[in-house]
Amino acid sequence: MPSSSAGTLATVIVACSVTAAVTFYLTAAAAERKVLAEKKRQYERDLELKEKTIAARKLSGEPTGEVIGDVTVDKVYLWNIEDLKKRFTPCNIENVMRNKASTTTNPYYFPSMKKSASNDSMAELSDGKPTPYNKLITNHECVLGEIVRKPNQQPYTHGYVRAGPRRLLHFDPAKVNAAIVTCGGLCPGLNNVIREIVNTLSQTYGIGGKIFGIQGGYNGFHDFEHYRPVELTPELVANIHHEGGTVLGSSRGGFDLDKILHFLKSNKVSCLFVIGGDGTHRGAFRIHEGCMEQGMNVAIAGIPKTIDNDVDYIDRSFGFESSVEAAQVAIRSAKTEAICNMPNGIGVVKLMGRSAGFLAGHATMASGDVDLCLLPEVPIVLDGEKGCLPHLRKRVKEQGYAVVVVAEGAGEDLLGVSAETDASGNKKLPAIGTHMKQEIEKYFKEKGDIATVKYIDPSYTVRSVPANASDSLYCMQLGQNAVHGAMAGFTGFSVGLCNNRMVFIPIPELVSTSPRSMNPHGRTWERILAITRQPNTVV
């Protein structure tokens, strides 16, 4: 066969092959598009049917979802709050937002920049029109305590009284005097809570009496040589939420029930707001009991405060998130020191946490730069298969440095329990931070190495920072709801966030299991182990 004919035949064969392949591909693609289009139409039909079914169920009131027979709740045991209306005659004034403006001079008002208002116009401005509440809470509205339910669990749970304004007031706002006291250590957000209590009493409820700021904790009720009560006004507290600490000052100890009751009685205080931890709350409940025994129509409201986050039942204490955020600065500094100081740089950061490792643990998780985290709930093993020191040396050899975070209450299994206590009755803690620094240096030396260890203790810088945005919002809710509860006549209660809802909790229930600790068998500790990769010493 001539070469030209062979070439033509080959060209025809190739062309036919290409045509066949293209035809097959186009046919297959068309078939696939057809299948996908049918699947899409079927999905849209199913979605339309599902939406119509849900809409029909909503109209009929029929619940949606799968019925599971092994998870049930048939009883709710409500943690009732003691109500003054059952002991004393209430005023039963309808509760509305009075929107009362202040008539005192604003310290940030500059007369030269604006024409002064006349007395008549100031009087007009000071009386805002009342605004009805969009939502008033009934007494059996509650928030369930255990929202996670397991198969075959007992078919009952407890409930918290939901916080918020009630329809009728127990106290006549025109006759109310109030007092606020902060006790114990500092915490981000204290000023925010004070400010919101003052503003809610003065502006929302428009009370006619004074708001006493008790300086120096419980001492301020009676030790007038060193502490004098101050009158709090919206103008005085207008900008305190931008500052850390507490404008009232704080202290430990000083609790004298008779003198506190005398102060409340002589100053005709109707509502006392106590901001503090579990020990402070135990004192607040004793004041409540003293008022009841002496027939004093006084509402005692608590606001839980601790950067250790160790008050039980509530989701978190105010200031905790701000403290975790502030601790990041110390951890980053420790990492920088560890990286830059050779050889074998190690940064050790000691954070607060007497009996609970929440602050140290959450700071570790938020940082992501920590190689070893030591908490009060978890035993410390220095050497051996589960030893933290071999793990630390391994991390240094792997990356050239390491960062350690230790809670102040960790290490009692190593250093023993102190018999000494502070003014609040808290036991003094062993110096675990400096002890770990010494042990690390000693261990590396035994292995023929040198460890360059830098120790950072940011305790007071962490707890004295201003509240961040999240805590500021939380403090606003706490302050407002503490006032709502007290003005409604509830007493002997504390206010907090439970299952992301604001609730009232009886103080005896709150303190009965406080201080709480982190569960060493829980998921938080597992997350910490996943980050640090340290040995798990929990049995």
Active site residues: 308
Q: What are phi and psi of 345, to 5 degrees?
A: -70, 135
3-state DSSP percent of the chain in helix, strand and coil, to 5: 40, 15, 40
Q: Which helix (H) or strand (E) segment is 286 a member of? A: helix 278-293
The DSSP-derived string for 266-281 is: HTTEEEEEEEE-HHHH
Strands 177-182 vs 211-214: parallel, antiparallel or unpaired: parallel
Query: Angle at Cα 42 formed by Cα 39 and Cα 46, nearest 5°?
Result: 135
Question: Which are the contacts of 311, defined by CB distance < 8 A and separation ≥ 6?
Answer: 277, 278, 281, 304, 317, 496, 510, 514, 515, 516
Q: Which residue has the tokens 């409820």?
A: 205
* Cis preceding-peptide flag for 430 (omega within 30 of 0): no
The DSSP-derived string for 489-534 is: TEESEEEEEETTEEEEEEHHHHHHTPSP---TTSHHHHHHHHHH--
Q: Which helix (H) or strand (E) segment is 363 a member of? A: helix 358-367
Question: Which are the contacts of 522, defined by CB distance < 8 A and separation ≥ 6?
Answer: none
Q: Which residue has the tokens 């039963």?
A: 92
Looking at the DSSP bridge assignments, the partners of residue 127 are 100
> 263, exposed or middle or buried, with CB in 10 Å at 0-12, 13-18, 19+?
buried
Query: 200: which DSSP letter?
Result: I
Asked whether the CA dihedral 196, 200, 202, 208 is positive or negative, the reply is: negative
Looking at the DSSP bridge assignments, the partners of residue 303 are 275
Question: Which are the contacts of 9, defined by CB distance < 8 A and separation ≥ 6?
Answer: none
Q: Which helix (H) or strand (E) segment is 199 a member of? A: helix 190-199
